[in-house]
Chains A and B, each alone.
Chain A
Amino acid sequence: SQKIEQNSEALNIQEGKTATLTCNYTNYSPAYLQWYRQDPGRGPVFLLLIRENEKEKRKERLKVTFDTTLKQSLFHITASQPADSATYLCALAPNSGGSNYKLTFGKGTLLTVNP
């Protein structure tokens, strides 16, 4: 069955360091992969999208890599700040027929950046 795993439930880092979050998937052929941020009691907020034929995407302090051979995406936040503390969700959209609107999410990783 299709499976999406985010490397850990929680990650604690020191302010100023780079946070690296991992998303692995099995039995899945994604058209693209997205990362979302979710704060407690709120809906997910889109951060970055990367397509299956792209290796890397950047946006300000954020960087996403996508390796379809390893079936893995890495999400980096450089120069992390306490305001970056949140749950980060990885989401995949299938590369099959007309269903590429349907996102399958991982459980998320709770990132805490300590001052």
Chain B
Amino acid sequence: DTGVSQDPRHKITKRGQNVTFRCDPISEHNRLYWYRQTLGQGPEFLTYFQNEAQLEKSRLLSDRFSAERPKGSFSTLEIQRTEQGDSAMYLCASSSRTGYVAFFGQGTRLTVV
């Protein structure tokens, strides 16, 4: 395992459509995070999983967003009824139980047209 993997790398969707992104963390990491990054800004925290439990959700995560990590391994982030304001880079990161360093994937670039 060489790192955090995200799929797809790029997604173009029409406004109102639903999209789902996948993240495969580093295999021995039990902590998983989603961040969102828009142009010219740093990543913003969206949500955090410890194993399969979603322990924190940012208020940035509206009710159109849902994230899961069903077996404590890979995670999915779904956006329903996409809006143009959802256009951003969605970054997944993972860390070990005792580690503070977040290892990021390459991100999924979402464009809503």
Contact = CB atoms under 8 A, between A and B. Distances in A.
A is bound by B: yes
B101 A34 contact: yes
Contacts of A103: 43, 45, 102
B43 A32 contact: no
Interface residues of B, number: 23
A107 B41 CA distance: 5
Interface string A14-57: 00000000000000000010101000011111100100000000
Contacts of B104: 36, 43-45
Contacts of A59: none
Contacts of B25: none
A102 B101 contact: no
How many chain A residues sit at the interface, stated as a range, is 20 to 34
Nearest to B4: A43
B43 A105 contact: yes
B73 interface: no
Contact of B42 (A43, A45, A102, A105): A105
A32 B95 CA distance: 15
A108 B42 contact: yes
A91 interface: yes
A78 B91 CA distance: 30
B74 interface: no
Contacts of A93: 100
A91 B91 contact: no
B109 to A, nearest CB: 7
Interface string B9-50: 000000000000000000000010100000011111100100
Contacts of A105: 42-44
Contacts of B106: 41-43
A89 B44 CA distance: 12
Interface of A: 4, 9, 32, 34, 36, 41-46, 49, 89, 91, 93, 99-108
Top 8 A-B pairs ranked by shortest CB distance?
A105-B42, A43-B104, A46-B101, A44-B104, A43-B107, A43-B106, A105-B43, A107-B42
Interface of B: 4, 31, 33, 40-45, 48, 56, 91, 93, 95, 100-107, 109
